[in-house]
Amino acid sequence: MKTFKIYQIDAFTKERFSGNPAGVVVNADGLNVIQMQQIARELNNSETAFLFSPEDNDSDGLVRYFTPTAEVPICGHATIAAMYAKAVEHDLDSCILRFKTQIGTLPFEIVKENEDYQVIMTQGKFELSAAFDPTTTQQILTALGLDYSDTDERCPVQIASTGHSKVMIGIKSREKLNSLNPDYSSLTALSKQVNCNGYFVFTFDSDDDDILTHGRMFAPAIGINEDPVTGNANGPLGGYLIQHKIVDFKGDLFEFNSKQGAQINRPGVINVSVKIENGLPALIKIKGNAIVVFKTEIDI
């Protein structure tokens, strides 16, 4: 028997019961895949992160991510939660930790200020697939309850990724965004067809100068009908906006805030920064707050 320490963390918020909840097992050494999947299913968050000791001198540890039904390669909000939990557990000062993930070893920056922490996650390489053909685009829009007339003509429907891909769907109206009621079974079937599990619908229709976009993310194929605040959607969105020159930017850095989760009563804000080289996205980071909801232990 070993005692495992589990945190429940709300990411991208400083208010409990808002933002995006994630489980974190801070001392996961000894757990096997079946046990990790069981813990993730029991906690029933969209993702649970498991922190392991380093296997060599090239990193500070290994992190794995599980939804209630499957392992996923990377997760934004669960990374913010995991690094926040590690900082709290070990009373860390500001530092940069390098963790191995399924998409490579990534640097995660912990910023300590006023006895609290923010976490900055460097995401994986930005990739953009070709825009979908009209038939597939129409299938995606129909499953989401959208018409072509709802879409923002500047925004092609296509897959963007920084390690865990999402379909980007830009629309004109926040009212329409708020009223979406997707056909989850159709989205699940489409996920196999397009080889992508997440659908990120976003709009620039914002009445707050500090918020560039509002979004909603649906991923029923991996057991997440709607995710509150999604790092692996908003990060790739930043690269997408730069690559298509949808937003004005000066110099070699573009930064913005995005809000998500209001429709499911878990609002949160995520900060995205995109380093730009030769007019193209070169490096994407997301930054967020977090808060401990509870801490517990389990003997296995």
Active site residues: 47
Rounded CA separation 70/34 (Å): 10
Question: Could you tell me where the beta strands, DSSP code E, fall in the chain?
Answer: 3-11, 20-25, 47-52, 61-66, 71-72, 95-101, 104-113, 116-122, 127-128, 158-161, 166-171, 198-203, 213-219, 224-227, 253-260, 268-277, 280-288, 290-299
Record the tokens describing residue 55, joined without a space.
């296997």
Rounded CA separation 60/100 (Å): 8
Contact 65, 75 (CB under 8 A): yes
The dihedral through the CA atoms of 97, 101, 106, 112 has a sign that is: negative
Contact 233, 271 (CB under 8 A): no
Rounded CA separation 20/25 (Å): 16
**Could you give the count of Cα atoms lying within 13 Å of 57 in the half-sphere of its Cβ?**
0
Rounded CA separation 222/47 (Å): 10
Instruction: Name the pairing type of β-strands 268-277 and 253-260.
Output: antiparallel
